[in-house]
Amino acid sequence: MKKIVVLVSGGGTNLQALIDAANRGEIKNGKISCVISSNPEAYAIERAGNAGIPCVIIPRKDYSDSVSYSKAILAELDRQEADLIVLAGFMTILDKCVTEAYAYKIINVHPALIPSFCGEGFYGLRVHEKALEYGVKVSGATIHFVNEEADAGAIILQGTVDVENDDTPEVLQRRIMENVEWKLLPKAVSLFCEDRISIKNGKAYVD
Ligand code: GAR
């Protein structure tokens, strides 16, 4: 059984999707062993508690910069003996001390079709605001490995939804979460735990 550590910052609907999938037996060969929150107020903490999963709070605001924060995260990941780290609505970019120590062992869900609407500054609702501003006709979400560059690691899975004329950022966000994020994130996590993702020339392939 691989030990899965989930990092969160907010509402935690993606964490909930993982918990629900695990309860349905859809995460094969993996178990969520710990949740780490960067935000002491995150509702995700309650979701972890309700599911009986230990939660560690490491507040981002207690650290002056990204490197010192990342070192604290790294120490906790090592303590937890994490086999897989899932960034599920985690709103802090991790320094390379973490991404190098856990190369191809960190998975992120990004709410757009990478390489569009991604990178530093593109997170949460802002991503959907930008997509609507641009006038794209499809959007979606990307599940990818995390490397030292924001949203630039190997893509594992992507899924799309149509953008409707009267969409607001909130409506588009919800459609993408329901139809793509909550389905593909648990799927990618299970694929990882089953050792069904391989890397060739920096790209990820599902066997
Ligand atoms: C999700 O849409 C996730 O894709 C996005 O934030 C939301 C978190 O929701 N993540 C990012 O923008 C990271 N760059 P949740 O807390 O309910 O899972």
Tokens of 193: 């735990």
**Mean pLDDT along residues 85-92:** 97
Instruction: Give residue 13's pLDDT.
Output: 98
- Answer whether 123 contacts ligand 1 (Cβ < 6 A): yes
Closest ligand 1 atom to Cα of 108 = 13
- The span from the first CA to the last CA of the chain, in angstroms, equals 20
pTM over 0.75: yes
Instruction: Give residue 81's pLDDT.
Output: 98
User: CB-based contacts of 11: which residues, under 8 Å, 6+ apart?
Assistant: 42, 43, 44, 89
Number of residues written out for the chain? 207
Alpha carbon distance 52, 69 (integer Å): 26
Ligand 1 centroid from CA 109, angstroms: 7
Assess whether 144 carries a catalytic annotation: no
Q: Residue 195, by phi and psi: left (phi above 0), alpha (psi -120 to 50) or beta?
A: left
Tokens of 58: 């490491």
Average pLDDT score over the chain: 98
Alpha carbon distance 49, 194 (integer Å): 26
Q: Over 182-193, what HEC string results?
A: HHHHHHHHHHHH
Residue nearest to atom 12 of ligand 1 (CA): 123
Instruction: Give residue 158's pLDDT.
Output: 98
What pLDDT digit, counting tens, does each position of 27-82 carry?
999 999 999 999 999 999 999 999 999 999 999 999 999 999 999 999 999 999 99
- Answer whether 34 contacts ligand 1 (Cβ < 6 A): no
Instruction: Give residue 133's pLDDT.
Output: 98
Instruction: Give residue 91's pLDDT.
Output: 95
Closest ligand 1 atom to Cα of 90 = 13
Instruction: Give residue 126's pLDDT.
Output: 97
- Answer whether 10 contacts ligand 1 (Cβ < 6 A): yes
- Answer whether 30 contacts ligand 1 (Cβ < 6 A): no
pLDDT band at 188, cuts 50/70/90? Answer: very high
Q: Is 73:98 a contact under the CB 8 Å cutoff?
A: yes
pLDDT band at 174, cuts 50/70/90? Answer: very high
